[in-house]
Amino acid sequence: MTDSRLLTTGELSERVEAIFRKAGFNAAQAGAVTRVIVAGERDACKSHGIYRIEGALRTVKAGKVRPDAEPEVPPQNASAIVKVNAKGGFANPAFELGLPLLVERARTYGLAALVINDCTHFSALWPEVEAVTEQGLAALVMCPSYSAVAPTGGNKPLLGTNPFGFGWPRRGKPPYVFDFATSVAARGEIELHRRAGKPLPEGWAIDADGRPTTDPSAALAGAMLPFGGHKGSAIGTMIELLAGIMIGDLTSPEALEALGTTTLAPAHGELVLAFSPEKFAAGRSGDPFARAEILFETIVGQGARLPSQRRFAARAKSQAEGVALSAAEVAQLDRLLAL
Ligand code: NDP
Ligand code: PYC
C-alpha cells in the first residue's frame, strides 16, 4: 500500500513534469504547466493543484489543446498592448513568453496589457499576478471559462466561473494578492466536494430545474451561482466583454460550444494588465507603496486578514517541511506516470 509523503517542491515538480513529458508535452508546455500546478499544491490551493493533471491530460487526449504548441509573439508595433498567440497550447507558457515585454511596456507607459489568444486556461491566476508584482508592478488578471454560472435572476449556465486576480507589490513583504472565481466558488471546489461525498454549502448552486441544491452532482448538472448576487454577475459579464469579446477571443458560451463538455479544460483568451504605481502617482505627494502599507496595517489592525495570507503561510510550511501528499495522491501520481 502507498504511504502519504512529504515531497520537496523539486521532487514534486520532477514527478509532475515527467507525467507531462511522457504524455507528449514539449519542454515549454510541460515546464510552465508543472510550475503552476506545483505552486498550487505547495500553497494548499487543492482545486488547482495536482488534481488538475488528469483534466489537462484528458484535454490533450481529446485533441482540444496542443501539448507541442510553441507560443509566439506575432509581428506588432511597440505599444502598450502586447499580444501573444498561444497557438492552441496552454496559457502558461504564452504568459511566460509575454511577461518580459509586458513589464518593459508597463515601465515605459505606466500601464500595459498582455493579451493572450488561442490558449487553454485551467489554472489559478495568482501565479501570474505574483510574476507581475515581483517586478514592482500592480496586476489585474482575468479570463473567461465555459458556461457554468447562471446570471443573477436567470436559471441556466451562461457565464463562466471567470477568475479575477489582483496584486499590489510590497517592499520586503509578500505582495497583496487576491484571486477568485466570480462564481460563489471555483467549479473545481464543486468537483472536490462530489469526490469527497460532501454536500455543498447553501447558496452555491441550482439544479437543472433552477431549484437551490447542495448536491454537488445536481449542481454540476445545473448551474453555479455568481458571488455577491448581481455584483458578481456584472463582474463576470465584464470579464466576458474585456477578456473575451474585446480581445477577439471566445466568450464562455462560445468556449463551451467549442469544447462540447465541462469535463475538459476550456480554450479562450486571457487579459493581463500591469500598472506602474510610481508612474501613476508621479507629481503627487506621498509614496504610493508607503501609503498602501498604512492601508494594509489598518485592515490587519482591525483583526482582519489580508487575502493570500493563508496561502503564504501554507507556502512557508511546504517550503520548511515539504509538500504533504495523501497516500491516494501519491498513488495517483504513480499511476499517471505509468500510463
Ligand atoms: P477562494 O474563495 O478560495 O479565495 C479567494 C481569495 O480570497 C483568495 O485570494 C483568498 O486568500 C482570499 N480569502 C479567502 N478568505 C479570506 C478572508 N477571510 N479574508 C481575506 N481574504 C480571504 O477562491 P475561489 O474558490 O473563488 O477560486 C479558487 C481559485 O480558482 C482561484 O485561484 C482562481 O483563479 C481559480 N479559478 C480558475 C479558473 C480558470 O478558468 N482558470 C476559473 C475559476 C477559478 P487565501 O488563498 O489566502 O485564502
Ligand atoms: O475551477 O471553475 C474552475 C475552473 C474552470 C476552469 C478552470 N478552473
ipTM for the complex shown: 0.98
- What residues contact 248, with CB distance under 8 A and at least 6 apart? 117, 269
Tell me if 181 CB under 6 Å of ligand 1: yes
Residue 172: its H or E element: none
Give the single-character DSSP code of 241: I
- What's the pLDDT score for residue 1? 60
Distances in whole angstroms, Cα of residue 221 to Cα of each of 47, 63, 148, 322? 19, 24, 9, 37
Residue 291 C-beta-side C-alpha neighbours within 13 Å: 8
Q: For CA atoms 156, 196, 331, 43, give the dihedral sign.
A: positive
pLDDT interval class at 332 (50, 70, 90)? very high
pLDDT of residue 188: 87
Task: Give the chain's length.
Answer: 339
Kindly report, residue by residue over 139-183, the tens digit of the pLDDT: 999 999 999 999 999 999 999 999 999 999 999 999 999 999 999
Catalytic site includes residue 4: no
315 lines ligand 1 (CB under 6 A): no
Query: pLDDT above 70 covers what percent of the chain?
Result: 100
Whether 187 lines ligand 2, by a CB cut-off of 6 Å, is yes
Radius of gyration of the chain (CA): 20
Angle between helices 91-109 and 27-42 (to 10 degrees): 80
pLDDT band for position 2 (cuts 50, 70, 90): confident
**189 catalytic per annotation:** yes
Residue 17 annotated as catalytic = no
pLDDT in the model for residue 339: 87
Here the cell at position 64 is 482540444
Atom number, ligand 1, closest to the C-alpha of residue 306: 20
Cβ–ligand 1 distance for 91 under 6 Å, the answer no
pLDDT in tens, 199-248: 999 999 999 999 999 999 999 999 999 999 999 999 999 999 999 999 99
